[in-house]
């Protein structure tokens, strides 16, 4: 039988191995982040996406994580379970589960995943009414507890919920950002890699627009080792991959039957948190409140942004064709329709 000492040293060894598998560059970034003290990331909604994001964040080991949910016991149970994985996976992340906001005070980043998820046959827009109430009340509470935080909105319908959070938080637009483009682009990258039988590492892709049926996969800017996919695949295959990407969420809802995707959404959240906590200046497609950029006004839509310690540090311009501009405008119009619907719901209440 192994003594507790041996078990302890095995746990330490597995932690050492987990750390060893980080690249030298990652280690350097991590130590810089840690040098300025342990960060705090709050994840509101301890469901499938929130729980997955918390797990990947715990593995990052650069911030303590606070999980919040209205269901009593759920965030506490998940936080404790994740803490107990620490000795096995080699992280020292402190995880706290709570039904209130006190423990979230002074978070650096707050991820909002609270709400209901899509069931089969339900559109993201069906979620509008329920989730707008949840996102508003949650945002008011996190903004009060963490006035300097950067908020990442995940709840659907995504771009409309960004409007709600932006309004409720009263933060500058740079600090209220929506996660959708990172996920949609990851899906596009996956399908491109599958089609061409190449490593996903060599595929980069961009999906702009709202997170919905009107999203705009930008094939001209999607490449394999720098070669645009439009030069590697016939037009009908490119179109098929774009369509599969636009239906990427629904495809998984159809398969799971009882909920929507969470592994890739959780990982997409953490890609954004990494960029902020480690001040990486990543260029990622994120939903941001446009004020004239891309010819779009006062609307949250996904476009390429530079993401760093200050949140959105730059909105990058892209040279779009007339067709792409029209598709982006259509996507923004769809978001505006939801914003108008929310106004109607509010006035009827
Ligand atoms: N932006 C994207 O790309 C993307 C991807 C996947 C899922 N989503 C959305 O993310 C949301 C969460 O999805 P999920 O699969 O994790 O759902 P889930 O049902 O597993 O989790 C949602 C959690 O929110 C909690 N919650 C509800 N009201 C709350 C409140 N007022 N305060 C705190 N917590 C509250 C629920 O108790 C639940 O645990 C959904 O709206 C879903 O559509 C978005």
Which strand ranges, in their side-by-side order, compose the sheet holding 223-224?
A: 203-204, 223-224, 227-228
Q: What is the pLDDT of residues 227-268, one digit of tens each?
A: 999 999 999 999 999 999 999 999 999 999 988 999 999 999
Q: Whose CA is nearest to atom 12 of ligand 1?
A: 113
Q: Dmax of the chain from CA atoms?
A: 70
Q: Whose CA is nearest to atom 18 of ligand 1?
A: 47
- Ligand 1 site residues (CB inside 6 A) read 44-50, 68-71, 74, 113-118, 127, 131, 134, 137-138, 154-156, 158, 179-180, 183, 211, 259-262, 265
Q: What is the pLDDT of residues 158-189, one digit of tens each?
A: 999 999 999 999 999 999 999 999 999 999 99
- State the average pLDDT over residues 190-206: 97
CA-to-CA dists, residue 332 to 130, 214, 260, 295, 346, angstroms: 22, 9, 24, 10, 21
Domains of the chain with bracketed CATH: 36-179 (3.40.50.720), 181-348 (3.90.110.10)
Q: What percent of the chain has pLDDT over 70?
A: 87
Distance of CA 179 to the CA centre of its chain: 4
CB 155 within 8 A of CB 115: yes
What value does the mean pLDDT of the chain take? 90
* Residue 190: both structure tokens together: 């996956």
CA dihedral 33, 37, 38, 42 (to 10 degrees): -90
Q: Compute the distance between CA of residue 77 and CA of residue 305 in angstroms, rounded to an integer.
A: 36
| DSSP-derived 3-state class of residue 53 | helix
Calculate how far, in angstroms, residue 139's C-alpha sits from the geometric centre of ligand 1: 14
Task: State residue 61's pLDDT score.
Answer: 96
| DSSP-derived 3-state class of residue 68 | strand
CB 159 within 8 A of CB 296: no
**Residues forming a β-bridge with 177:** 152
More confidently predicted of 55 and 127 = 55
Q: Whose CA is nearest to atom 39 of ligand 1?
A: 47
Distance of CA 195 to the CA centre of its chain: 25
Cis peptide bond prior to 274, omega within 30° of 0? no
Q: Compute the distance between CA of residue 275 and CA of residue 166 in angstroms, rounded to an integer.
A: 20
Calculate how far, in angstroms, residue 266's C-alpha sits from the geometric centre of ligand 1: 11
Sole residue written with tokens 């991820």: 111
Task: State residue 81's pLDDT score.
Answer: 98
Tell me the catalytic residues.
211
Report how far apart the first and last C-alpha atoms of the chain are (Å, whole number): 65
| DSSP-derived 3-state class of residue 72 | coil
**Residues forming a β-bridge with 87:** none
Residue in 49, 184, 209, 301 to alter for ligand 1 test, most ligand atoms within 8 A of Cβ: 49
CA dihedral 161, 167, 169, 172 (to 10 degrees): 110
Residue 56 pLDDT > 70:
yes
Calculate how far, in angstroms, residue 27's C-alpha sits from the geometric centre of ligand 1: 32
Task: State residue 5's pLDDT score.
Answer: 36
CA nearest neighbour of 322 among 343, 295, 298: 295
Calculate how far, in angstroms, residue 123's C-alpha sits from the geometric centre of ligand 1: 15
């Amino acid at each position: 039988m192994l003594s507790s000492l041996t078990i302890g040293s095995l746990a330490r060894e597995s932690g050492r191995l987990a750390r060893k598998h980080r690249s030298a560059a990652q280690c350097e970034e991590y130590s810089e982040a840690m040098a300025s003290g342990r960060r705090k990331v709050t994840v509101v909604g301890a469901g499938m996406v929130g729980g997955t994001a918390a797990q990947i964040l715990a593995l990052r080991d650069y911030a303590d994580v606070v999980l919040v949910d209205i269901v009593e016991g759920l965030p506490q149970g998940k936080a404790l379970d994740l803490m107990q994985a620490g000795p096995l996976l080699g992280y020292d992340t402190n995880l706290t589960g709570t039904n209130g906001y006190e423990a979230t005070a002074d978070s650096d980043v707050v991820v909002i995943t609270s709400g209901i998820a899509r069931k089969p046959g339900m559109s993201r827009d069906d979620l509008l009414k329920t989730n707008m109430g949840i996102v508003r009340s949650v945002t008011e509470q996190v903004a009060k507890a963490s006035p300097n935080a950067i908020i990442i909105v995940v709840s659907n319908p995504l771009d409309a919920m960004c409007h709600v959070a932006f309004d409720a938080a009263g933060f500058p637009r740079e600090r209220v950002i929506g996660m959708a483009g990172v996920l949609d682009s990851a899906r596009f990258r996956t399908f491109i890699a599958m089609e061409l039988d190449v490593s996903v590492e060599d595929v980069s892709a961009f999906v702009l627009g709202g997170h919905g049926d009107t999203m705009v996969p930008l094939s001209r800017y999607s490449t394999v080792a720098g070669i645009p996919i439009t030069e590697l695949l016939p037009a009908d295959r490119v179109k098929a991959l774009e369509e599969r990407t636009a239906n990427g969420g629904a495809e998984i809802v159809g398969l799971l039957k009882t909920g929507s995707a969470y592994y890739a959404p959780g990982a997409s959240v953490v890609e954004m948190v990494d960029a902020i906590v480690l001040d990486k200046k990543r260029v990622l497609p994120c939903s941001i409140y446009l004020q004239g950029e891309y010819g779009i006004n006062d609307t949250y839509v996904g476009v390429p942004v530079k993401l760093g310690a200050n949140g959105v540090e730059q909105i990058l311009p892209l040279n779009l064709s007339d067709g792409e501009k029209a598709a982006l405008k259509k996507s923004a119009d769809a978001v505006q329709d939801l914003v108008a619907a929310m106004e109607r719901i509010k006035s009827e209440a």
